[in-house]
Each structure stands twice: as C-alpha cells, then as structure tokens.
C-alpha cells in the first residue's frame, strides 16, 4: 500500500496552539508544532476534568511522502484535540495517543478513512487516568522503531506466528518453549512474564544481535517474543527467522492486548508486575506484585520517575518516602540544584540536553540499589 498525501497547501489559517509556516512553493513543505510552554500544558492537563482515552497502534506500510502525511494528520488531530506522540516514516506509523472520549468515534472514523489503516487494532490502556500526554507531537523519522537493521537484507514482512493471550498461555506451558522479553532493562525490571529471558540492554538495536547469539544453539525450540504493544516483535521475529530459527512466535498486541484479553476472558495472568509505558504515566498495573526495588533505599517499589533537576532528568525507580526525602531527585547534588530559584537552575542547565541521555535510563552510580 502506497499512501499519498491529499493535503491542500493553498489556504490560510490561524490556530491557537500551533504555528503554521508555508514555505516557498518549490519546497512544498509545511511544518506544524506546539508553541505553548511545557509547564503550562502540564498544568492544564492536570487541572482538566475532560475524560480521555489512552490508546496506541502501529502499522508497517509504504508511505510515499511521510512529511506531507505528517502535516495532514497534525491538522486533523489537532482539530479533534488529540494529544500524544506519533512517529511517521517511509515504513509506516507508530502512535501513542490521548483522545477525548467525546471525539473517540470521530478519531476512529478519520483513522479508518486511510485504506491501509481501516480496521486496525487499537491497544487501549487498562490503567488509565486520562493524563498520559500534554501535547500533540508528530515526528517524521527514518524508522518508526530504531532497530538498526537494514531491511533490504532480509524479508521484514516474514514475521512470527501471532498468538492471542490464551495461545500464549498454552505454548508457554511447553518445556520446549523459550520466552524472550524484547524490551529494555528499565522496562522489564518492573514487570515481565514468568520465566522470561530479560536481556540487560539499553536499546532495541543492541538487543537484536544479542538475542540471536544467546539462543544460537536452540534454533529448534519455540521462541516466543513479546514487547509492550507488539511493534518491536514484528521486526524481531522476522529477524530471528532470517537467522535460522524455525519456530518463532510473537504475542499479538503485546502486553497491553494480553492484559485486556486476560481481564475480559478470565484467563490466568502470567505477567507479573507493571507494564512500562512511554507516556507521563510511565507504567500501568498488570498484576498486584511489586517485583522491583527503589533505586535509592532498596525497598519494594515500581514507580518510575524522572529526576526533578531538569538538567539531569534521569529516569529511575523511587518510593514515596525517598521522593519526599530527596525532593524527587536522584542524588543530593540534584536535590540542591532543584531547590534553587528557577533562573539559577537555568544557568546550571546551559549546554545540557537531558533528553539525549536515552542510553542511560535507570543507570548511574548514584542509583545504589539498581537491580
């Protein structure tokens, strides 16, 4: 399926919460983005009583002009007051969204108006306070998941057999089955399936060759892979098959869909703990077990937070007692900085881009109880 944008550039418009720039005609390019301060957006979100639904979806498909389609989506979804983070690339779309309850049907109608997205499965959050996202961000990327693979070297569409929750429970009873968590260390630390292999990796691209090497002598076993919503396993299972693994399976819809099916069908829940999610909630309860520890005191805890020193912003697990004691920070130095006037804090942050510490999440010498 090749998607071509139908966006018309010959119009003038003014919106309150994003900037519209029309470039010279030869560029045929438009950019839209939020222009409201992050703290104001967060405050508005927390004070809002509007009912919202958190959902996610993905689709691998050939997108001819992702830049134009990105703008087309932004215009429509901003009109529907949709918030979230969406990645668009030549290979498809990957979205996590917060949709107003009263616009849910309008959103689905628009989404399904694209033939290749018609009827696509939507993964709905099961532990949702409606406060998952504070703004709409749609980004054009080279890939919708950073996997480090050259898709021209293997058949990425030759993915593993999809399993529903009941099938997953059944196949994992087989002693010939190996369950592999295809998420990063900070995700599996707070929750994972029983007896799953949980590689201690920082990124998905690092994990792919590691898992192939780890299981190289077990290519005849049932390899069952899972992730948050299923998107990583689409590529991972195809990569495993390309590397000679014979019986490769993946949990359809990931942990999110598994939890929904278990709840609706009264099935045994084989997932222990919390499912890490990539929005401001940072996790949703799948079972009552707390399998992780506070990174500062070692007591049972599974609540992720970001260090309140904006110049650090390190992701880590913190219990309520440590959060109060440390003012939400990861160390004494960050606590001292966080208590300074805002202008002085800005001086400390000059030249620092905490958002790029992506490879150091939940790692650091100050986190003495990191498992």
Residues annotated as catalytic (active site), given as ranges: 227
Tokens in use for 349?
């942050």
Cβ atoms of 78 and 136 within 8 Å: the answer is yes
Cα(238)–Cα(248) distance, integer angstroms: 8
- SS3 assignment, position 53: strand
Strands, E assignment, 2-82:
2-3, 18-22, 30-34, 52-60, 62-63
Going by C-alpha positions, the residue among 92, 87, 145, 157 that lies closest to residue 120 is 92
The DSSP output letter for 57 is E
Phi/psi at 320 (5° precision)? -60, -40
Contacts of 297 (CB under 8 A, 6+ apart): 319, 321, 322, 369
For residue 147, what are the CA distances in angstroms to 204, 206, 210? Answer: 6, 8, 13
């Amino acid at each position: 399926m090749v998607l071509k944008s139908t966006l018309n550039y010959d119009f003038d418009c003014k919106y309150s919460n994003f900037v519209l720039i029309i470039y010279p005609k030869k560029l045929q390019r438009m950019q839209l983005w939020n222009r409201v301060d992050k703290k104001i957006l967060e405050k508005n979100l927390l004070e809002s009583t509007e009912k919202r639904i958190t959902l996610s979806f993905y689709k691998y498909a050939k997108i001819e002009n992702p830049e134009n389609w990105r703008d087309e989506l932004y215009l429509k979804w901003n009109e529907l007051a949709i918030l979230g983070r969406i990645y668009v690339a030549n290979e498809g779309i990957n979205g996590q969204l917060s949709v107003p309850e009263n616009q849910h049907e309008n959103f689905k109608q628009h989404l399904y108006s694209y033939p290749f997205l018609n009827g696509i499965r939507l993964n709905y959050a099961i532990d949702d306070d409606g406060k998952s996202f504070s703004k709409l961000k749609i980004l054009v990327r080279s890939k919708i998941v950073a996997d480090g693979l050259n898709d021209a070297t293997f058949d990425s569409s030759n993915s593993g057999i999809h399993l529903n929750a009941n099938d997953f429970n059944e196949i994992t009873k087989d002693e010939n089955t190996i369950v592999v968590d295809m998420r990063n260390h900070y995700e599996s630390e707070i929750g994972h399936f029983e007896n799953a292999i949980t590689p201690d990796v920082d990124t998905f691209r690092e994990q792919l060759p590691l898992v192939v090497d780890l299981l190289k002598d077990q290519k005849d076993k049932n390899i069952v892979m899972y992730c948050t919503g299923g998107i990583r396993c689409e590529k991972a299972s195809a990569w495993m098959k390309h590397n000679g693994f014979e019986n490769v399976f993946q949990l359809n819809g990931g942990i999110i869909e598994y939890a929904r099916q278990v709840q609706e069908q009264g099935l045994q829940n084989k997932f222990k703990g919390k499912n890490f999610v990539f929005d401001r909630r940072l996790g949703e309860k799948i079972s009552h077990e707390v399998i992780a520890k506070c990174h500062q005191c070692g007591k049972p805890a599974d609540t992720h937070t970001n260090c309140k020193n904006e110049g650090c912003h390190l992701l880590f697990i913190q219990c309520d007692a440590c959060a109060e004691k440390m003012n939400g920070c990861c160390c004494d130095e960050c606590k001292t900085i966080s208590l300074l006037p805002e202008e002085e804090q800005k001086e400390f942050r000059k030249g620092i881009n905490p958002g790029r510490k992506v490879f150091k999440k939940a790692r650091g010498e100050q986190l003495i109880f990191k498992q």
